[in-house]
């Protein structure tokens, strides 16, 4: 299904979330110290995902009634991801990195395949109105990072 113009920016931001998932998993495959992966994950969350979640909550999820199952699922997953990032910060990663990667990937797939498709089909006018209110960021770029652990050669 072609993505609505109203959701294209959010879908592009999802690309960076999926890239984060890949980097976490790649770091784990390469046996990179969890602290290094955790530091990057926290930075990406604070620079990209935290604002992305707030914008989705304010402009996208708010289109649906408060008790709608898609709204409740998405908001619960946002809360779970915030909780996981706090645990990652407290524990310097550990097992929480793998859990975070799994939940983030699943959440992005849910939004792309279910939520966005549903909104395009049943709430196109509301989606367009929300898009007109959303802040415009311009092209999203990945923040620079000093430790590209995902490029490390296996030992």
Are 76 and 98 in contact by the 8 Å Cβ rule? The answer is no
Q: Please compute the mean of the pLDDT values over residues 51-57 and round it to a whole number.
A: 96
97-144 per-position pLDDT tens digit: 999 999 999 999 999 999 999 999 999 999 999 999 998 877 677 778
Q: Please compute the mean of the pLDDT values over residues 51-58 and round it to a whole number.
A: 96
119 domain residue, yes or no: yes
The percentage of residues in the chain with a pLDDT greater than 70, rounded to a whole number, is 97
Higher-pLDDT residue of 69 and 155 is 69
The CATH number given to whatever domain includes residue 96 is 1.20.120.520
Which residue intervals of 4-68 are DSSP H helices?
Answer: 8-29, 34-44, 50-55
The answer, as to whether pTM is greater than 0.85, is yes
121-124: long-range contacts at Cβ-Cβ below 8 A with a sequence spacing of 24 or more?
123/63, 123/64, 124/4
For residues 41 and 61, give the distance between their C-alpha atoms in angstroms, rounded to a whole number.
25
155 domain residue, yes or no: no
DSSP state of 5: G
For residues 8 and 5, give the distance between their C-alpha atoms in angstroms, rounded to a whole number.
5
96 domain residue, yes or no: yes
141 domain residue, yes or no: no
153 domain residue, yes or no: no
60 domain residue, yes or no: yes
The confidence band for 150, taking pLDDT boundaries of 50, 70 and 90, is very high
Q: At a CB cut-off of 8 Å and minimum separation 6, what does 75 contact?
A: 57, 61
Are 48 and 56 in contact by the 8 Å Cβ rule? The answer is no
Least confident segment among 27-36, 63-72, 86-95, 97-106 = 86-95
Domains: count for the chain: 1
39 domain residue, yes or no: yes
Burial state string for 99-127 with b = 16 or more CB within 10 A and e = fewer than 16: ebbebbbebbeebbeebbeebbeebeebb
Domain that holds residue 85: 5-134
Terminal-to-terminal C-alpha distance of the chain: 43
143 domain residue, yes or no: no
Are 45 and 85 in contact by the 8 Å Cβ rule? The answer is yes
């Amino acid at each position: 299904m072609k993505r609505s113009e109203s959701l294209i920016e959010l879908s592009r931001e999802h690309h960076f979330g999926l890239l984060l998932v890949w980097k976490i998993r790649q770091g784990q495959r390469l046996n990179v110290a969890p602290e290094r992966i955790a530091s990057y994950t926290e930075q990406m969350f604070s620079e990209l995902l935290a604002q992305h979640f707030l914008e989705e909550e304010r402009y996208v999820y708010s289109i649906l009634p408060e008790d709608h199952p898609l709204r409740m699922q998405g908001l619960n997953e946002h809360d779970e991801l915030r909780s996981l990032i706090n645990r990652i910060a407290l524990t310097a990663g550990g097992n929480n990195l793998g859990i975070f990667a799994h939940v983030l990937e699943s959440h992005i797939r849910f939004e792309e395949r279910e939520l966005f498709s549903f909104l395009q089909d049943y709430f196109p006018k509301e989606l367009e109105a929300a898009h007109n209110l959303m802040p415009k960021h311009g092209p999203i770029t990945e923040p620079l990072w000093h430790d590209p652990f995902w490029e490390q050669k296996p030992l």
